[in-house]
Amino acid sequence: MRREIELTDGSVLLRPYRVDDIDNLYQAIRESITEISKWMSWCHEGYSIEENRAWIEARAEAWAKGTDYDFIITSAMDGFLIGGCGLRYFDYNYRIAELGYWVRTSRTKKGVATAATRLLAQFGFKELELNRIEIVVAVGNKISQRVAEKAGATREGILRNRLFIREQVHDAVMFSLIPGDLASTG
């Protein structure tokens, strides 16, 4: 799978992470720690530039191994870093993966996560030949649940004790996308 890929709808652009994203990504995460650290275990008050650098530097190997396909979300107009999304936790026997996303605080509620979810799902279905993409969201994370719904995902039910964040167990809502879902939502 080539890493030079860009996915866009004309508003947002998704592309693989690069080393020159380290500083901008770090600033976006620092801006958003209060909001995203509630729901994402990797994000915490002491998140450092070194953690950020190590994560970005590991993306090429993860991509090459087919374990993670992570994309930066930018504005298609000016390249401003808006957030991140990715596919991971692959079960290649059943052609399933899990999709995740986050958007920096100053750019939320503008449809960015929904657009990125749809672009990434299209990539998963067309390029990776997935049959199913799952979006697992903590029950209390209403904003991310709304993103999944707006992207056309089907709410399937509650998974008890599915997530472990900040030393706490959380129930999660399971959403899924299958190839036909994207065609039906435009």
111-145 pLDDT tens trace:
999 999 999 999 999 999 999 999 999 999 999 99
The alpha-carbon radius of gyration of the chain (Å, integer) is 16
Residues of the chain by 3-state class (helix, strand, coil), percent to 5: 35, 35, 30
Task: Name the one residue in this structure whose structure tokens are 């396909």.
Answer: 69
The predicted pLDDT at position 183 comes to 75
CA 123 – CA 146 distance, rounded (Å): 21
pLDDT of residue 51: 95
Give whole-number Cα distances, 152 to 48, 51, 147, 148, 149, in Å: 35, 33, 9, 7, 5
Give the separation between CA 138 and CA 159, rounded to whole angstroms: 9
Contact 17, 27 (CB under 8 A): no
Whole-prediction pTM: 0.93
Which CATH fold would you assign to the domain 7-131?
Aminopeptidase (3.40.630)
Tens digits of residue pLDDT in 17-69: 999 999 999 999 999 999 998 998 889 899 999 999 999 999 999 999 999 99
Give CA separation, 177 vs 156, 165, 185, in Å.
10, 24, 11
Helix (H, G, I), strand (E, B) or coil at 136: strand
Find where tokens 């904003």 sit: 143
Q: What is the residue extent of each domain of the chain?
A: 7-131
Task: Report the pLDDT value the prediction gives residue 58, as an integer from 0 to 100.
Answer: 95
Looking at the DSSP assignment, which residues form a beta bridge with residue 177?
Answer: 133
How far is residue 52 from each of residues 18, 19, 137, measured CA to CA in Å? 12, 10, 23
